[in-house]
């Protein structure tokens, strides 16, 4: 499910004109447009963005619409058609769902129902997609498995209910944008999705990204209330957010929703890395060390420079400082995995290192802790980490 517009054979002047048109469209549609290295991104909704990049003399606009829904797909087709109307030159519009040919939104909506039915079958059978990122357009975590529950982009759902509901009844659990217009319900959906995906709770002020996400969540809820005052909303969480952000309360007369609100990042999640899933709190700051090809997860914090632990995981044993000591101890078996683990104290610092092995797969951990009280937690995170098939 994607839409692509190829703007062919453009000189620099024509490319500049194209970017000006895109900027005007972004302003008109009230969406953010930002240049990031060699790619321009238009952030349209929490599950969908339009990417713009160049290949020689061609400029390509492309969007993966699988996660956002039929509304986003239709939006992208409309935007790409607007570009063709505003500019001269040769274009090639590719729409794998052929909405560009008939403009039939009802048919388009049914295609997303069919896609959801296909996904449901895979999740129930625990096909490989179950262990990968099937939830979001772009993220590096997957909620941990819960017995008799299925993770959706806005929270867990009972497995029996997940199986029994009709596809159209599940749409709002999986897609942000299910109608043509950005109505109040769309903005409520957007807020719930962003809460589940990027809700940092008490760690809102951790960095620029977490602050931006929190403000966007509040913006979505305020717009939803303005468009439809009868909508029930997550008012309690909204008030927690505006208190930390020092924002004005614009939902004073809004009613609290009965539906449970999920913030996956306030729980332990699988941090996906190659064919590895490393368990840690979802709010951890993620980094990557190219020299050791290692995933780095720093504990979330409410104050600058405050941290409790740093988890480093890699398939490269060079990250270990105490490799020989680890290999000299007897491993323990845990859920089909062999684990060598030991904690070391050196000059006031605490280090926990481990080797996790499952069949032919091996993962190495080097963890730095500021307080010994967190050793049991880090130990359990290492034990729960695992490998997944790349098939």
Average of per-residue pLDDT across 230-257:
96
> Tokens representing 117?
């039915």
Identify each DSSP E strand in 246-303 by its residue range.
255-256, 268-273, 276-281, 285-289, 294-298
Phi and psi angles of residue 333, each rounded to the nearest 5 degrees, phi first:
-100, 135
Q: Which fold has domain 2-102?
A: TATA-Binding Protein (3.30.310)
The CATH number of the domain covering residues in 267-387: 3.40.1000.10
CA distance 192 to 172: 10
Report which secondary-structure segment, H or E, holds 40.
strand 39-45
What is the C-alpha to C-alpha distance for residues 210 and 337, in angstroms, rounded to an integer?
Answer: 35
How far apart CA 340 and CA 336 sit, in angstroms, is 14
Give pLDDT tens digits for 37-93: 899 999 999 999 999 999 999 999 999 999 999 999 999 999 999 999 999 999 999
**Every domain of the chain and the residues it spans:** 2-102, 107-256, 267-387
Name the phi and psi angles at 147, rounded to 5. Answer: -60, 130
pLDDT digits (tens, 9 = 90+) for 161-205: 999 999 999 999 999 999 999 999 999 999 999 999 999 999 999
The mean predicted confidence, pLDDT, of the chain is 94
Identical fold between 2-102 and 267-387: no
Show contacts of 217-224: CB within 8 Å, 24+ apart.
217/191, 217/241, 218/242, 218/245, 218/247, 220/187, 220/188, 220/190, 220/191, 220/194, 221/187, 221/188, 221/191, 221/251, 222/250, 222/251, 223/184, 223/187, 224/184, 224/185, 224/186, 224/187, 224/188, 224/191
| Residue 336 neighbours by CB distance under 10 Å | 8
Whole-number Cα distances in Å, 317 to 285, 337, 365, 368: 23, 18, 9, 16
**Nearest alpha-carbon partner for 35 in 44, 25, 23:** 23
pLDDT of 290-318, one tens digit each?
999 999 999 999 877 788 999 999 999 99
Query: Residue 10 is encoded by which pair of tokens?
Result: 């453009």
To the question of pTM greater than 0.85 for the whole model, the response is yes
In this prediction, residues 18-32 reach a mean pLDDT of 94
Q: Which residue has the tokens 């909620």?
A: 143
Alpha carbon distance 173, 188 (integer Å): 12
Q: Residue written as tokens 């005007």? A: 24
């Amino acid at each position: 499910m994607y839409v692509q517009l190829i703007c062919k054979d453009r000189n620099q002047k024509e490319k500049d004109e194209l970017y000006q048109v895109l900027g005007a469209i972004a302003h008109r549609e009230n969406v953010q447009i930002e240049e990031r290295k060699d790619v321009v991104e238009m952030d349209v909704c929490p599950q969908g963005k339009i990417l713009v990049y160049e290949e020689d003399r061609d400029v390509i606009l492309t969007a993966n619409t699988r996660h956002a829904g039929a509304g986003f797909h239709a939006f992208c087709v409309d935007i790409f058609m607007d570009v063709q109307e505003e500019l001269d030159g040769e274009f090639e519009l590719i729409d794998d769902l052929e909405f560009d040919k008939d403009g039939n939104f009802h048919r388009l909506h049914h295609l997303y129902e069919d896609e959801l039915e296909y996904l449901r079958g895979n999740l129930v059978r625990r096909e490989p997609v179950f262990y990968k990122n099937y939830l979001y357009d772009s993220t590096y975590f997957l909620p941990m498995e819960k017995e008799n529950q299925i993770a959706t982009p806005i929270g867990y759902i009972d497995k029996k209910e997940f199986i029994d509901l009709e596809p159209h009844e599940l749409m709002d659990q999986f897609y942000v944008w299910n109608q043509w217009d950005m109505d109040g319900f769309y903005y409520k959906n957007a807020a719930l999705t962003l809460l589940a995906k990027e809700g940092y709770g008490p760690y809102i002020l951790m960095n620029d990204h977490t602050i931006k996400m929190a403000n966007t969540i509040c913006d979505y809820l305020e717009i939803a209330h303005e468009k439809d005052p009868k909508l029930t909303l997550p008012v309690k969480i909204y008030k927690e957010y505006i208190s930390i952000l020092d924002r004005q309360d614009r939902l004073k007369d809004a009613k609290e929703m009965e539906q449970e609100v999920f913030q996956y990042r306030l729980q332990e999640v699988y941090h996906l890395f190659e064919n590895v899933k490393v368990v840690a709190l979802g709010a951890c700051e993620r980094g990557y060390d190219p020299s050791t090809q290692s995933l780095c997860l720093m504990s979330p914090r409410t104050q600058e420079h405050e941290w409790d632990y740093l988890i480093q995981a890699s398939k490269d044993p060079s990250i270990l400082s105490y490799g020989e000591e680890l290999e000299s101890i007897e491993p323990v078996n845990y859920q089909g995995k062999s684990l060598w683990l030991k904690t070391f104290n050196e000059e006031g610092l605490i280090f926990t290192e481990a080797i996790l092995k499952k069949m032919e797969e091996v993962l190495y951990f080097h963890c730095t802790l500021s307080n010994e009280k967190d050793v049991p937690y880090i130990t359990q995170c290492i034990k729960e980490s695992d490998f997944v098939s790349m098939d």
